[in-house]
Amino acid sequence: MYIRSIHIYGFGKYHDFCLDLKPGFNVIEGMNEAGKSTLLAFIKAVLFGFENRRSPAMRYEPLEGGSFGGNLLLVDEGGAEYQIERTGKRTSLGSVRVTMPDGTEHGDEILAALLAGMSPTFYANIFAFGLTELSYLTTLTQEEVTSYLYHAGTNLSLPTLKKTWHEEQERLFKRRGAQPSLNQLLTQLEEIEQQIESLQRENEYYNDWLAKREELDHEINQLEKQMVLLSNEQKQWLKSKEAYALQKEWKVCQEQASQLPLVDSFPENGVRRLEDIEQRILTASVELEETRQRLDKLIIERDAIILDPRIEQLQIEWVGEQKDRWQQKRERLEIIEKEVAWLDRELQRAIQQLGLEWTEQRLRQFDVSLSKKEIIRDHRRRMEPLQAGLQAIAELLQTKQAELEAYRQQADQVREQVSALRSEQQLVELEARLTACQRLLLEIETIKQQEAWLNLQLSDAQRSSTVIGPNRLLIFLVLIGLLGTVAITIVNAPFSWIALISLAIALIASAAIYVTSIRKGPPQQATDHPLQKEAHALQKKRIETERRLSRLVDSLGAGFDLSSLQQALIEVKEQREHRLKQTDKLVWLEELLEQLERERQQLNDRQQTLLKQQEQEQAEWQALLDEDGLSERLSPDGVLEVLALVEQSQQLLLKRDREQEIQVSLQAEWQGFHDKMSAVWQQIELPDQPDDPLRMLVELKQVMTREKQRAEAKEILEKESEAEHARLQMKERFLEKLREQRLDLLRSISVTDSESFRRLYRQMKEREQLEERMRMLELTMDTADVDERIKKRIDEYPLDYIEQQANRYATKGAEAQMRLKQLADERGQYTNRLRQLEHGEQLSQLKQQRQECLTAAQTEAKRWITLRLANRLLAQTQESYEARKQPQVLREASALFSEMTAARYQRVLSPIGEERLLVEREDGLRMEPQYLSRGAREQLFLCLRFGLIKESSKTSRPPIILDDIFVNFDDNRKRAALDCLHRFTSEHQILYFTCQQRAGQMVDELNLSCHHARLE
């Protein structure tokens, strides 16, 4: 499955973006921030859903707004197209719509089926990844991936099992150990043996009886072996007795078979073939006689038919064709006569419609050529624009007049409104006085704050008997002056309340700075009170400012209130803006009225010009009508209608003339046909000649048809007799061939008649049955283990002797059994004596303990040997299993990694039962991936992904998307990686995003077929 095209409605930086792709290898180049990663994220989002809204950076909602989402056009292996569209309207994952090849639409369930149930995490880590995912093994630790990497067909944890067995082995036995159970049992057993030997040396008869019992044991063993030999010999004679009858029957069968003739080869299915040939000979003889009888009957019927030679000379096909042709000609003659009468009536009606002055002669001479029609149409084309233009100009003049009246009324209304407003100079003066009042108010407020602060400082100075240094006071006063200047400047701004707040904050900050400076400065005695003088100066300044403000308020009128100063200032500014807008509107209306007046005058001039052109065209039209003798009242359309009627009348006249000529020709042909048919009728001497030539033609055809049927019947009989004669000859040849086949079959076994053939077949079958019985007897004897020695005995000895020998060996066996019983009893006596000697309680207990220790030691030793052998086998199995039974993914990755690194690393493996990876170098050293260089590690992880892609492609083959993953590869390994990647193009589409032009050049250098695209 591959992506044919991408259409993004809105996704990240993309808006209404389209990109066409090809199957196989696609290299998509783009500089940094060209949108490669965004395009990769879009493909994953359409296939598996958008990111959660809690991750807006990964969700890629459109930066320019608009519709969120897009669609992919997928093509499967069969060429069927599926359009997958996902938009972020309802849920966070988005709404998906899958359009099937037949046009039906489905949802998520069909998309999941197309992706073979693949999860988004698996796809993002294996099929669509960048350099970040490639650099770490942690992206390959999901459960779906580890099932491919670390499970090589076994569910056992071999390292755990090996460790468990080793620990258990150590608990059983350990060299030079004292705690293991087997070590303790061996030590205990050694101590018991020493005690038993010490007690047994005390009894002088013990060793002699023990030696005697051992001699008896040896004799018993020898007797048991002899009994085995006797038993075997008895069995051989019993087998000879049982096989005696079989061997004798085999001899009889062999003798009977030798008396029958030996047939080296007999035809396969010979008897059945002989019977079949004889049956076919009989059937062919009967059919040959029937064929002769049919041939004689056909010859008699053929000779009975006699034909008339005069009628044979005529051609019945010609007669049939003449009937149809002349029937059509008579019908056509009747039609033409009616057509001529109708055309004549229609022509007279058309002439009456044109007028009394029109005749057939004038119709023939009147000009209705295309040039004449084109002159009339040209005049109509010139007149129509003139009339339409005059009408349009009249309508435009009426429209312009209405517009002039409307705009004049609107201009008069605007003039009245402007005259009712104050003049611009009055509004400017009023705004200046209001602004001055606002500035003085602010200045008064500032002075009051300064006075309050100075009074506060003066009180503090008097209480602390300190005075402010002249330098600090000077700095403070300068700061206050600067703040006041800035505040006065800000007051002129439209937002004066912001300026007042800013001034208050500045004053508070200044006071804080000054207080801090006083606390830091050295104290001095207050002698001349300079703050007092400053306070008197500020008071004087405040009174002067209040007087100026009072004079300004008086100039504004008796009803003016300082509390509405700000509102008044806003109203004055609005009045100025309103007057300016009305003035601009009045100027625009006056200019528009002048323009409309000019346009009306231009329309009047154009109207006069068109009227003159219309009078000139009307004069030319009148001259054209006089030339053709037409009525002066006719318009161009009327003249064209007259021309059409004249042309129609001319066509009727011409058609009537042609039909009259055809009528005369057909009448002459009909008379000639009548004369010809009369001559034919008299030639063949038929009675009762009819007047209608078609009637004569029909009757003549009936006579000829009857004669033709008799001729055809005779010809059929002739052909049937010839065919029957050919069949007769063929059946004779077939019968002769069957007789030759029967003779060949008899000669194949050198016989001359069928009975000898059948008798030889029966003898052959009897011999085969005897040989089969001999083989069955041989098989039975082989099954009963009858060898050649037994067969030889059967041939040499009679049955009675064989039975005697079997009985003799049975008697010897019974005697040996009795001797064995006697020896066993004697041995039992010696054993009892030894037990009596060993009756001592201490010795018995020691032997009991020795037996118990020995049994326990044997059990533990068997367990220890089993564990030791199992550990060795487990180690060998693990080593062999890791070499041969690695997962298919790791085998694929090993081959690719070895090729990519020029055989520096031989294979990649996973120890059985462990979820970790090892890399085996060419010298056999194994290491974990973290000890490789960054480039080699990324190449390893890339090969693992290639192996996973190949393994998972058995169920689904989605596109492979790679985002600049070869950054840390050198040129040689990059070429090898590109070559490995290109092999997947037979089953997968590959999208390789890169910002390096060198990568695309390297693809071309390797002659790899690919499709290049570029993102701007």
* Amino acid at site 545: T
Q: Considering the domain boundaries, does residue 338 fall inside one?
A: yes
Which residues are within 8 A (CB) of 798 and not within 5 positions of it... i.e. 6 or more apart? Answer: none
| pLDDT at 471 (0 to 100) | 46
Which residues are within 8 A (CB) of 620 and not within 5 positions of it... i.e. 6 or more apart? Answer: 379
- Residues pairing with 128 in the sheet: 961
On whether the CB atoms of residues 722 and 299 are closer than 8 A, the answer is no
| pLDDT at 695 (0 to 100) | 79
| pLDDT at 656 (0 to 100) | 80
| pLDDT at 490 (0 to 100) | 44
Q: Considering the domain boundaries, does residue 180 fall inside one?
A: no
Q: Considering the domain boundaries, does residue 651 fall inside one?
A: yes
| pLDDT at 520 (0 to 100) | 45
Q: Considering the domain boundaries, does residue 324 fall inside one?
A: yes
Q: The domain containing residue 663 runs over which residues?
A: 320-356+635-684
Residue 35 CB: number of other CB atoms within 10 A? 20
| pLDDT at 26 (0 to 100) | 92
Q: Considering the domain boundaries, does residue 566 fall inside one?
A: no
Using CA atoms, how far apart are residues 168 and 109, in angstroms rounded to an integer?
A: 55
Q: Name the domain count of the chain.
A: 2
| pLDDT at 140 (0 to 100) | 58
State which residues of the chain have pLDDT below 70: 89-90, 136-162, 198-206, 308-323, 356, 464-529, 558-559, 833, 836-844, 874-886, 912-914
| pLDDT at 593 (0 to 100) | 85
| pLDDT at 152 (0 to 100) | 43
User: DSSP label at 76?
Assistant: -
Which residue in this structure is represented by tokens 């008796």?
558
Q: Which two tokens stand for residue 19?
A: 């990109």
Q: Considering the domain boundaries, does residue 270 fall inside one?
A: no
Helical (H) or strand (E) element with 1014: strand 1010-1015
**C-alpha angle 517-520-525 in degrees, rounded to nearest 5:** 90
C-alpha of 860 from chain center: 64
Helical (H) or strand (E) element with 97: strand 95-99
- Rounded to the nearest 10 degrees, the angle between the axes of helix 888-900 and helix 971-982 is 140
Altogether, the residues listed in the chain come to a count of 1016
pLDDT, tens digit, for every residue of 71-99?
999 998 888 999 999 988 667 788 889 99
* 59 three-class SS: helix
